[in-house]
Amino acid sequence: MIFYFTGTGNSLAAAKKLLVKGEQLIDMAQARREGTYRFSVPEGERVGFVYPEYCGSVGATVRDFAEHLQLEHAGYVYAVVTCGGKRSISAGYFKRLLKKRGIPLHNAFFVRMPDNCVILLAPPSDAEKAALLDSVNGQILKIRQAIVHRESAPVPTRISDGMMQKCYLLMNRTKRFWVRDNCIHCGMCEKNCPSQAIRMEDGKPVWVKPQCDLCTACINRCPVQAIEYGTKTTDRARYVNPILK
Ligand SMILES: Cc1cc2nc3c(=O)[nH]c(=O)nc-3n(C[C@H](O)[C@H](O)[C@H](O)COP(=O)(O)O)c2cc1C
Ligand code: SF4
Ligand code: SF4
């Protein structure tokens, strides 16, 4: 069984590449919406969590899901973190969340993919994007080998784990979103929002929650680039993993 969370498709693409025949793929955002937190796998089965790194920590949905999860019979538990940087540091915090639910984390890996954080930096150029996406198969192949052999490795926690989550919680506010006049009223932003933070009102999106996952799906997946965040996104390109195109 693999649980995943995605905003712009990287983690979904990674999860799909890790999936073996017959294995279930579960969207943590959908499970959370439905209030489904209880899962059981056949005795000793592998269970994976694939999610994006946010500010060196985990996003709101992943955190909430891990805090409520009831998981029975898992024999080997691993995390695969997708990130835009050269390393990932959030797995230790995730391990702490799972531990509180009595779930061990036997290993954690990361996959470097194009950075989708257009609210902070410009996405990689087309050439960089292509090179990174090309490297994903190789990165996943190595991880898959380790998972198949149920390799364990210490997942280090850090003193800064709690602080990184606090930084994320300072950032993930919705008050800076705004909509350009070129909005075509398609409602895709409402549909794609994993936090249910967007509602269409009079044909335009309105952010109805003070905080969200800050997954950037609304910004990056709007078909006409009508969604902006403060002033920094206005002249930036957008990024969506090909799996969602
Ligand atoms: C709010 C936010 C914060 C991010 N913080 C980090 C980070 O601390 N380190 C990093 O390597 N990548 C960071 N990223 C980049 C994403 O982790 C990366 O692009 C990820 O693969 C996106 O996954 P998705 O397409 O499944 O949503 C951040 C992205 C967002 C939107
Ligand atoms: S996805 Fe973009 S075009 Fe569609 S309703 Fe939202 S803002 Fe408007
Ligand atoms: S409002 Fe936008 S950035 Fe926030 S969770 Fe929804 S889709 Fe993601």
pLDDT of residue 92: 98
Specify if 234 maps to a domain: no
CA gap 143, 163 in Å, rounded: 29
The CA-atom distances, in angstroms, between 84 and each of 11, 25, 35, 75, 111 are 11, 23, 30, 30, 9
Give the CATH number of the domain where residue 193 resides. Answer: 3.30.70.20
- Asked if residue 103 and residue 121 are part of one domain, the reply reads yes
3-state secondary structure the chain: CEEECCCCCHHHHHHHHHCCCCCCEEEHHHHHHHCCCEEECCCCCEEEEEEECECCECCHHHHHHHHHCEEECCCEEEEEEEECCCCCCCHHHHHHHHHHCCCCCCEEEEEECCCCCCCCCCCCCHHHHHHHHHHHHHHHHHHHHHHHCCCCCCCCCCCCHHHHHHHHHHHCECCCEEECCCCCCCCHHHHHCCCCCEEEECCEEEECCCECCCCCHHHHHCCCCCEEECCCCCCCCCCCCHHHC
Tell whether 57 and 131 lie within a shared domain.
yes
Q: 186 and 65 in one domain?
A: no
Residues 162 and 188 in one domain: no
Question: What is the residue whose two structure tokens read 């954690």?
Answer: 108
pTM across the whole model: 0.98
User: Do 112 and 181 belong together in one domain?
Assistant: no
The number of CA neighbours under 13 Å toward the Cβ of 114 is 27
240 in any annotated domain? no
pLDDT digits (tens, 9 = 90+) for 174-210: 999 999 999 999 999 999 999 999 999 999 999 999 9
146 occurs within a structural domain: yes
The ligand whose atoms approach the alpha carbon of 175 most closely is 3
* pLDDT tens digit sequence for 112-144: 999 999 999 999 999 999 999 999 999 999 999
> Do residues 67 and 159 both lie within one domain?
yes
Q: Please, which residues bridge with residue 109 across strands?
A: 80
In a domain, residue 237? The reply is no
Determine the pLDDT at residue 143. Answer: 98
> Residue 239 falls within a domain, yes or no?
no
Domain assignment present for residue 87? The answer is yes
Lining ligand 3 with CB less than 6 A are 7, 174, 192-195, 197-198, 212-218
Render pLDDT for 52-101 as a digit per residue (tens, 0 to 9): 999 999 999 999 999 999 999 999 999 999 999 999 999 999 999 999 99
Kindly give the number of the ligand 1 atom that is closest to the alpha carbon of 56.
Answer: 8
For residues 32 and 99, membership in a common domain is answered with yes
If one counts the domains in the chain, the total is 2
Ligand 1: which atom is nearest the Cα of residue 112?
21
pLDDT of residue 154: 97
In a domain, 21, yes or no: yes
Q: Which residue has the tokens 């210490």?
A: 154
- The bound ligand whose nearest atom lies closest to the alpha carbon of 221 is 2
Residue 110 sits in the same domain as residue 45: yes
Predicted pLDDT of residue 213? 98
Last residue of a domain, one of 151, 167, 183: 167
For residue 101, the enclosing domain spans: 2-167
Shared-domain flag, residues 15 and 71: yes
Residue 25: CATH number of its domain: 3.40.50
**Shortest CA distance to 215 belongs to which of 11, 2, 3?**
11
Please tell me the predicted confidence (pLDDT) of residue 196.
Answer: 98
Residues 40 and 92 in one domain: yes
- Residue owning the nearest CA to atom 28 of ligand 1: 54
204 in any annotated domain: yes
Q: Which of 203, 214, 212, 209 is nearest to 179 (CA)?
A: 203
For residues 37 and 105, membership in a common domain is answered with yes
